[in-house]
Homo-oligomer: A and B are copies of this chain.
Amino acid sequence: MLFKNRSTALNVDQDTVVGVPRNRLPRDRVEKRDEIVSSATALFTDSGYDQASMTRVAHHAGVTPTTIYWYFPDKDAVLVAVVSRVLQTVLDRYLELEPSPLDERILWVVDQLQSYHRLVDAVHTRSAFSTEVDEWHNGFHATVGELQEKALAEAGVPEDELAPVSQILTLVIESLLTHPRTDDERRVIVDLLLRKLCAQ
């Protein structure tokens, strides 16, 4: 029951040293951590940060609540791990998508993030109480801001308007997530915004 991943013959590989499985332990640690983050992502996304208790996350990951505290200092650290991974995934997919009109790219982002609106709320709420969440949130806006300013410069926005235009766009995108609308409503808003904000 204990060490169940390592005690079966199936899982023993050539790198294992008798008694001290050097290369095995770190890998297991990473895998279990990932498992916790996956469970937390699913539950935070579906039920929201508050309703998804550490107990529920733990059981979903097949561990005891206390085990999570071996991998993370507190619940906010789990939240940061969750949103980091979601951002990374979406960012990777976004960068592969590059050459398409700006409005299409923005609508794609809104569409991708739509299901994560509970994570957005959680980050905003927890930022006020957790410095670790607050720092991640600031870093998030810095990363996204840079990317967006580059895209906007290419779209013809003048140098001195780059910062505020980018910020407006980010704020609207974030808000669209927590104020759900139909595809059409979103398109009307994003199209009008870009038409007005991007000089031609």
Task: Report chain B residues within 8 Å CB of A189.
Answer: 164, 167-168
How many monomers of this protein are in the complex? 2
Cβ–Cβ contact A192 & B178, under 8 A: no
Cβ contact of A125, chosen from B125, B164, B188, cutoff 8 A: B125
Q: How far is the CA of A171 from the CA of B181 in the complex (A)?
A: 13
Interface bin, chain A = 20 to 34
Cβ–Cβ contact A171 & B179, under 8 A: yes
Q: How far is the CA of A122 from the CA of B175 in the complex (A)?
A: 14
Q: How far is the CA of A168 from the CA of B189 in the complex (A)?
A: 7
Q: How far is the CA of A118 from the CA of B164 in the complex (A)?
A: 24
Minimal beta-carbon separation of A152 from chain B (angstroms): 13
How does the 8 Å CB contact mask read for A140-165 relative to B, with 1 for contact and 0 for none?
A: 01000000000000000000010011
Q: Is there a chain B Cβ closer than 8 Å to A106's Cβ?
A: no
Cβ contact of A176, chosen from B165, B171, B176, cutoff 8 A: B171
Cβ contact of A51, chosen from B51, B118, B129, B171, cutoff 8 A: B129
Q: What are 25 sample pairs from A and B whose C-beta atoms fall under 8 A apart?
A: A48-B125, A48-B128, A48-B129, A50-B50, A51-B129, A118-B128, A121-B121, A121-B124, A121-B128, A122-B125, A124-B124, A124-B178, A141-B179, A161-B192, A164-B188, A165-B192, A168-B189, A168-B193, A171-B172, A171-B175, A171-B176, A171-B179, A172-B172, A175-B175, A196-B197
Binding site for B on A (CB under 8 A): 48, 50-51, 118, 121-122, 124-125, 128-129, 141, 161, 164-165, 167-168, 171-172, 174-176, 178-179, 188-189, 192-193, 196-197
